[in-house]
Amino acid sequence: MKLWQKKIQSLKEVEAFTVGNDREFDLQLAPFDVLGSIAHVTMLETVGLLEKPEKEKLITELRSIYHQVQHPGSEFSIDESVEDIHSQVEMMLTKKLGDTGKKIHSARSRNDQVFVDLKLFLRSELETIVNSVHLLFDLLQQQSEKHKSTLLPGYTHLQLAMPSSFGLWFGAYAESLVDDTITLKAAYDVINKNPLGSAAGYGSSFPINRTLTTELLGFDDLNYNVVYAQMGRGKAERICAQSLANVADTLSRFSMDATLYLNQNFGFISFPAELTTGSSIMPHKKNPDVFEIIRAHCNRIKTLPNEIMMMTTNLPSGYHRDLQLLKEHLFPAFSTLKNCIEMAGLMISNIEVKENILADEKYKYLFTVDAVNELVMQGTPFRDAYKIIGQQVEENLFEKPVTDHAGKGGHEGSIYNLCNLEINQQMQKLINSFPFASVHQAIEKLVGLHSS
């Protein structure tokens, strides 16, 4: 029998349909459900809803469950007769502590219990993604500096445009990750607010202390309005998904560049054979399968915000079971994106870039802008200079100017002045703005890893 059931049991078909894959995803919430319960029972004792010995017994057992679910070889599972992780934890406490275990749900609903679990989970997963993005950022910056003098064709409309460099190329994606991290921080700020105590969405008549549970769980602040706290379901997941989609977009675009540049008609980059794949009938093939799979995974992640938006469209205020399905869309995206970031890092670490690409005659028109600018520097009006060089191109008389692109000065962020230091400072400022240390300290205190 489920915790919420009275006398009438649900039809098995109804139960199977409404539970769906929830139990599988609930296992990922297990440690966070325990953390929320430790904070909750600590608060219950301070407002007189638990005796101190009861609180201490509950916390001891909850910490034991926490270490069990966190153990790498743990066989922790949700019993077949139990609906979800929240019921599983309460059942385990009741089996061990009797009536004391039954008191744990006072002054909360599964609605706020689930949402606080989700927020703790999302907060943890966002931290993992931020750390992975930071590592990839550092790698891209290293490659940008290493190859800053190696020139590369720049394209607009996939047509030859102007000289670029591998320094600019790698550096562009590094700076893209800075902006992506801004959106990760925005999502983290939304997630890092406490909904616990909102109960079913209309608060509690018990004299609870929501500020205390906020501090205990390391949240930055409360979701104050209890109705909004529940309306935040769906919104929090969507904002989180959008931040993942931004990172995915950067990776997808880099992957597209890499597949083009590896193509023999470009031939700008190469990889060790063991990082590419072959063909069943064409012995010469070195396929960029890693980048193609990254591109596909990331393009799918880019659809996630819209999926969540559509699944929550036109829902009125209050809780609705539709929200349960968001887990099976959002949860796998974290591990998928993390794997894509790691694989992109592996490829970028082993990339080989071709030297002297622009020496080829077919790239001479990349330098028409340099030629125009040289005439302008000599006093020719820009529009006249443009016509002069344009006519030379039409009459096949254009000669590439003698230009030493390596080592020239230039404006901020240009081929000659990458500003990698400034970009790195932006990223470091962002990383330092995440309250990871204080969150860890709060969680360690809850699970008894250090004293108060």
Q: Are 115 and 230 in contact (CB under 8 A)?
A: yes
Provide the residue type at 51 as one letter. E
Share of the chain above pLDDT 70, in %: 94
Q: How many CB atoms lie within 10 A of CB 367?
A: 22
Say which range, 14-18, 126-130, 178-182, 382-386, has the weakest mean pLDDT: 14-18
Cα 336 to Cα 343: distance, rounded to the nearest angstrom: 11
Secondary structure E strands in 321-420: 352-353
Give all strands (DSSP E) within 79-158, no chain letters: 151-156
Q: Which domains does the chain have, with CATH numbers?
A: 12-105 (1.10.275.10), 110-198+223-359+419-435 (1.20.200.10)
Is the distance from CB of 402 to CB of 120 less than 8 angstroms?
no
In the prediction, which pLDDT does 81 show?
80
Q: At what angle do helices 289-302 and 326-349 cross, to 10 degrees?
A: 150
Listed residue (259, 263, 254) closest to 298, CA to CA: 254
Mean pLDDT for 95-120 is 95
Query: If DSSP codes are grouped into helix, strand and coil, which group holds residue 156?
Result: strand
The whole-angstrom distance between residue 88's C-alpha and the CA centroid of its chain comes to 29
Q: Does residue 305 surpass a pLDDT of 80?
A: yes
**Average pLDDT, stretch 406-412?**
69
**Beta strand pairing status for 221-222 and 193-194?**
parallel
Residue 26: predicted pLDDT = 86
How far apart, in whole angstroms, are the C-alpha atoms of residue 265 and residue 394? Answer: 25
Segment of 18-27, 181-190, 269-278 carrying the highest mean pLDDT: 181-190
Burial call 47-64: b when 16+ CB within 10 Å, e when fewer: eebbeeebbebbbebbbe
Mean pLDDT of 336-343: 98
Would you state the pLDDT for residue 84?
86
Answer yes or no: is pLDDT of 5 > 60: no
Quote the pLDDT of residue 35.
Answer: 97
Q: Are strands 193-194 and 159-165 parallel, antiparallel or unpaired?
A: unpaired
The pLDDT value given to residue 287: 85
With the C-alpha atoms ordered 271, 274, 278, 282, is the resulting torsion angle positive or negative? positive
The angle formed by the CA atoms of residues 321, 324 and 329, to the nearest 5 degrees, is: 140
Query: DSSP strand E in 77-176: where?
Result: 151-156, 159-165
* Helices 110-146 + 226-262 axis angle, to 10: 30
Report residue 385's pLDDT band, with 50, 70 and 90 as the boundaries: very high
Q: What is the pLDDT of residue 279?
A: 65
Q: Collapsing DSSP states into helix, strand and coil, what is residue 277?
A: strand
pTM for the model: 0.92
pLDDT tens figures, 132-157: 999 999 999 999 999 999 999 999 99
Residue type, 94: T
Scored b (16 or more CB within 10 A) or e, 8-42 reads eeeeeeeeeeeeeebbebbebbbbbbbbbbbbbbb
pLDDT at 78: 86
Whole-number Å distance between alpha carbons of 407 and 365:
21
Q: Residue 9: its pLDDT value, please?
A: 64
The pLDDT score that the predictor gives to residue 403 is 62
Describe the crossing of helices 166-191 and 226-262 by its angle, rounded to 10 degrees: 170
Pairing of strands 352-353, 269-270: antiparallel
Structure tokens at 128: 């993992």
Please name the residues in contact with 300: beta carbons below 8 A apart, sequence gap of 6 or more.
336
Give the span between the Cα atoms of 385 and 100, in whole angstroms.
Answer: 87
